[in-house]
Structure 1
């Protein structure tokens, strides 16, 4: 009986520690973070339109498209597909993405498409694409918005984030699309 009472006390202590104290401590620490731990939001005219570090779906012709998402752009379910490059289902999915991309961009060849435009990132929520991924979409976006390709290309180049020391250049798709909406 003495052991049972000790085990019950220990269980209650652990439940209080990990179900009450720890979450409250994390909430308190989050309050010290920028935006109280709610993420880095992007606002337009005072309205939150997205998060800087979370990708979202753009599929209209007049916007730049981001990377595909294995999590369907659901931040609560962030995950990759866990399918390897030899998995038949994965290869079929990538081929379907390639076919769709070529259908909407008939001026391209399969070899022109950067891999980030047809493969999801590890989290499934990458907000960035390569500058090449943006540049191959310039013609479609310019045509849909009745803008010159040169003007849209200059915007892509302006919005490209160069690596500070190492890494690759990226373009945040949400920020690029917001800047695109502001073009006259």
Structure 2
């Protein structure tokens, strides 16, 4: 008797589930992606993808000075949290920034019609970034931190030719 009562109580549940699916009309899907990483800071969304407009300059200025006008840009780190000692997490107290892109000697190469120029990136302490090589370690602090950089067009000792140019340079932060 106990066994038959058990079968009877399950049947309405099964029929209810089958019946509900028969009335469904629109079916959709939500795809989500994400990651959880051990990092001390987040990069502010406005710093992730930046477009830096370089000044228009005459070829004669590159010939005379060897470089163009500086253009400043920043990377803003937000919500930096230093792990408490003894928390079992790695004590991330320093970080390094690495810029990467097509190399042109020790500078970043450009594409387009212009020739004889490359891009140089330097941090606020005067350290020049080489493609794929990390800048010196910096101290990490709790809260937010603004990293200041400058970019300038440099002569690369090739024959100069006027024209438009562009480049894509990526950056990454590593915590230690």
Return the TM-score normalized by structure 2.
0.24
Bigger proportion of residues as helix? 1
Larger radius of gyration: 2
The structure whose RCO (Cα within 8 Å, separation 6+) is larger is 2
Return the TM-score normalized by structure 1.
0.23
